[in-house]
Structure 1
Amino acid sequence: MEKVFVSGGTGYIALHCIAKLIKNGYRVKTSLRSLNRKNEVISSISNIVNCENKIEFCELDLLKDEGWDNAIKGCQYVLHTASPVSLLLTHEPNSLIKPAVDGLERCLKAAVKNKVKRFVMTSSFSAIGAGSKDFELDDNNWTDLKNPNISPYDISKTKAEMFMWKYINGLDDSMKIEVCSINPVIVIGPSLSKDVGVSNTVIKKLLDGSSPMTPKFGINLVDVKDVADMHVEAMVNKHASGKRFLLSAETMWFPKVSKILRENHFIKAPRFTAPNFLIKILALFDKELKIVLFYLGFKNSLHTNNASKILNWKPRKINNAIIDTAKQLYDFGILK
């Protein structure tokens, strides 16, 4: 039975990946910042699949060298999902960038040393088109790090993925391992743990009363189950090596998300679309509205060619993920 190392085992995407791997017959070794959380992971996974004797744990820190080589020893594949996440423009940059880049470097070098079959990095659309108003984007685009409209998180994901490709391409052929990246847009859908994930905040804010009206801008969404499926498929697909896989199920106007929620009896979702002039005024007093202001009235078109053609990806309907996320937020008592 082949073994897969998954970094950051308590993460929103990581838990779905672990469950998918075990369902598919793999053993999993996953890293935690503290082994005190291993029962939390076991409990979360057990709701989906029997993981008894199929998962083991190790303690690792993205900012520390200790333990990475040993952790990956004996594993045939690596899914590097661990990276700090924040949607805030005002987040202190180094608290995101340094662990993202340094953690990727530690995990990748350990994977190379252990000669794994393939290394799959959880990257992001943030590394493809953050701060861009190009109407059409695909797997080949890269975020411009000099763009003033990108966030610390965008920078962290872009720099980390750039490091992966540069490092691998700089190795002698005898040392190289196969690598690829998964680049999802905003990931939504029910969590396997009580931590519903940062990206599901998009749905939460439409239902918690903090948004009386919805600004009109395009939002790109993908189901977390699809993201996990594509990690596992990219891990073994013989044509996936050396590729980037942009994942976006649908791009819709943000008010449409609110409309979908209201049509499914989530009546706290805003009924009205905010006039653009109002958002412009509010942005003078709220720095976090800067990114909304930048994209106001803009909706792009994303082409997921690699995922569709190489991984044979057929996205789940995003409406279901929107509704199921809202239900879970109420079930968990996060919304009342």
Structure 2
Amino acid sequence: MHHASPFPLTPPETEDEVVVPARDGALRVIAAARTAGIARVVMTSSYAAVGYTVKPGDHYSETDWTDPHTPGLPAYHKSKVLAERAACDHVRAHRDIELTVVNPTGIFGPQLGDRPSASLGLVRNMLTGRMPVVPVMYFGVVDVRDVVDLHLRAMLHPKAAGERFIAVGGPAVSLFGMARILREHFPAAAALMPSAEMTVEQVREAAKTEPALRDAAALRGRIPVISNDKARSVLGWEPRDVVETIVATADSQIRRGLELPDAGRAAGPHG
């Protein structure tokens, strides 16, 4: 299984800082697997390689590819496209090993180690009042436990060879929508949640000087309809509900010591 690829928290100075290790790293994993006599490589790509080039209707499935030449495309997204393309081309040319690709959307859920991911940090910032305003931005969400499950199915299922599978738990959610979920389930932190949503125009203007907003600017406020039908029908995958995933993300951080106002949250089904 291939899992690692550079994901900088801030945009790199040059695209090659993420493109080269992403592409070459994937090819090294395949080469090492071939040398070891491995029959199948499962590559962790990303939805970034699927749906970041606007198309009419905004419906996306495994047949879609992000065009690496899309104007304003962040370097990370470009790296995932080029790495997945390179891996597919390599396997197709050699025909001596199987490749299955998993394309997760935004990965949330319980925190396993001591270092929170960027997505977990997003939830933490909302709970602690560090994000009073959020850009208009819709994206897919998937639980990390379901991503693991999909990888195992991709490794073992006979029909997974040569296929790619999008990992998404349900309809796209916005940052402001995520804040509403957290506000409902964590009322003690409700006053700290984002209280306003930037417009598409505001995001586009702010992204000129704030690199962290370039991803949101590239999405232009559109609401993608992301299909997980293939993973469900071919592999029997059943992901968790998006609300359950977001709540589990916050719960795990609280269990790891994150303190909310007034000694925590009101008692409830997750308390």
TM-score bracket, normalised by the shorter chain, equals 0.7 to 0.9
Alignment of 1:109-124 (within 5 A): 109-124=31-46
**Which one of the candidate residues 213, 226, 239 is aligned to 1:302?**
226
Q: CA deviation at 1:296?
A: 4.0
For residues 121 and 277 of structure 1, do their structure 2 counterparts lie closer, same or farther at Cα, with a shift above 3 Å needed? closer
Cα deviations by residue, 1:43-88 (Å, 9 ceiling, x for unpaired)? xxxxxxxxxxxxxxxxxxxxxxxxxxxxxxxxxxxx1112122353
* SS at 2:125 equivalent: helix
1:156 matched to 2:79? The reply is yes
TM-score in terms of structure 1 length: 0.70
Q: Which stretch has the larger CA shift, 276-285 or 185-194?
A: 276-285
* SS at 1:309 equivalent: helix
Q: Distance in 2 between matches of 1:278 and 1:120?
A: 40
Letter in 2 for 1:142: W
Q: CA deviation at 1:319?
A: 1.1
For residues 95 and 276 of structure 1, do their structure 2 counterparts lie closer, same or farther at Cα, with a shift above 3 Å needed? closer
Q: Distance in 1 between matches of 2:125 and 2:80?
A: 24
For residues 103 and 192 of structure 1, do their structure 2 counterparts lie closer, same or farther at Cα, with a shift above 3 Å needed? same
For residues 90 and 102 of structure 1, do their structure 2 counterparts lie closer, same or farther at Cα, with a shift above 3 Å needed? closer
**Which one of the candidate residues 202, 206, 210 is aligned to 2:126?**
206
Which position in structure 1 is the counterpart of 2:181? 260
Same amino acid, percent of matched pairs: 28
For residues 140 and 276 of structure 1, do their structure 2 counterparts lie closer, same or farther at Cα, with a shift above 3 Å needed? closer
Q: CA deviation at 1:188?
A: 0.5
For residues 303 and 194 of structure 1, do their structure 2 counterparts lie closer, same or farther at Cα, with a shift above 3 Å needed? same
1:196 matched to 2:116? The reply is yes
Letter in 2 for 1:80: H
Letter in 2 for 1:244: R
Structure 1: 4+ residue segments shifted above 4 A: 275-278, 333-336
Any conservation in 1 of the 2:150–2:237 contact (CA below 8 Å)? yes
Letter in 2 for 1:249: G
* SS at 2:166 equivalent: strand
TM-score in terms of structure 2 length: 0.85
Which position in structure 2 is the counterpart of 1:325? 249
1:186 matched to 2:106? The reply is yes
Cα deviations by residue, 1:266-323 (Å, 9 ceiling, x for unpaired)? 3222233344554455334423223323334310101123211111112101212211
* SS at 2:134 equivalent: coil
* SS at 2:119 equivalent: coil
Any conservation in 2 of the 1:90–1:287 contact (CA below 8 Å)? no
Letter in 1 for 2:217: L
Give aligned pairs, total.
255
Any conservation in 1 of the 2:45–2:104 contact (CA below 8 Å)? yes
Alignment of 1:52-201 (within 5 A): 79-90=1-12, 92-132=14-54, 134=56, 135-171=58-94, 173=95, 176-201=96-121
Q: Give ranges in structure 2 of 5+ residues lacking alignment.
A: 261-271
Which position in structure 2 is the counterpart of 1:73? none
Measured on the aligned residues, the alpha-carbon RMSD in Å equals: 2.1
Letter in 2 for 1:156: S
**Which one of the candidate residues 183, 194, 214 is aligned to 1:290?**
214
1:249 matched to 2:172? The reply is no
Q: Distance in 2 between matches of 1:285 and 1:333?
A: 34
Any conservation in 1 of the 2:135–2:197 contact (CA below 8 Å)? yes
Any conservation in 1 of the 2:123–2:250 contact (CA below 8 Å)? yes
* SS at 1:239 equivalent: helix
Cα deviations by residue, 1:235-264 (Å, 9 ceiling, x for unpaired)? 010100000001111212321110000001
Q: CA deviation at 1:333?
A: 4.2
**Which one of the candidate residues 190, 193, 197 is aligned to 1:269?**
193
Higher helix fraction: Structure 1 or Structure 2? 2
Q: Give ranges in structure 1 of 5+ residues lacking alignment.
A: 1-78
